[in-house]
Structure 1
């Protein structure tokens, strides 16, 4: 156990997003809002948000969570984006964050990769 009684365990979700409107993928404000709302609905604690718009297009949004992080990197000209969510402990599910985000963000198709990190159940 790490100091404070927390297990060094978490779940990581990666999503490759395709076939999504350039307008959706270039709206950093709406994407940051949707990511934040999805993370909060899953019960995470959002400690901070960083949003950066690239020229001529593209956005990166990072949410620093008490439980770890959520990130999104968009490529509007290609209709693609990469989503990443990692949550430590057993309380929050990154798949739920992604599902909520996908439902409110008019995403096209996506491929999801899950992995567990650390060792669950070892005390």
Structure 2
């Protein structure tokens, strides 16, 4: 079985107060995490809630990084989903753990798109001429 992608569920508990409450700092950290993993950034979108909390996403050519913060609990939930084996999502996770100074992080890894291919590795990208949709 081969997987189309790797999905990391990153729990960032006990973050340093203030590290996850400023939208510019959170945006910069998430973009930095994508760069730390050598991902190709396509788009960035973040929103700051009132009175607190931030949600945002960094779209990468290899999939995405997303975050939801609860500054009142010093907690952030991060998803890092990558396709292929060109980048290492663990590098992005480690970057965020350090950047948000989480003293109690955890990471769960899930393989997504498990497909039996008879020991043939799946390509990261399938080109249009390789795929025909029959309607």
SS in structure 2 of the partner of residue 25 of structure 1: coil
Cα distance, 1:20 vs structure 2: 1.7
Root mean square deviation of aligned Cα = 1.9
More helix by share: 1
- TM-score (norm: length of structure 2): 0.78
1:28 and 1:106 mapped to 2: Cα distance? 16
- Is 1:16 the equivalent of 2:11? yes
Structure 1 length-normalised TM: 0.85
Give the structure 1 partner of residue 37 of structure 2.
Answer: 42
Deviations 1:34-74 (A, max 9, x none): 11112112211111111100010101121011110001100
Q: Which runs of 5+ in 1 are unaligned?
A: 1-6
Aligned length: 117
Which runs of 5 or more residues in structure 2 are unaligned? 116-120, 124-135
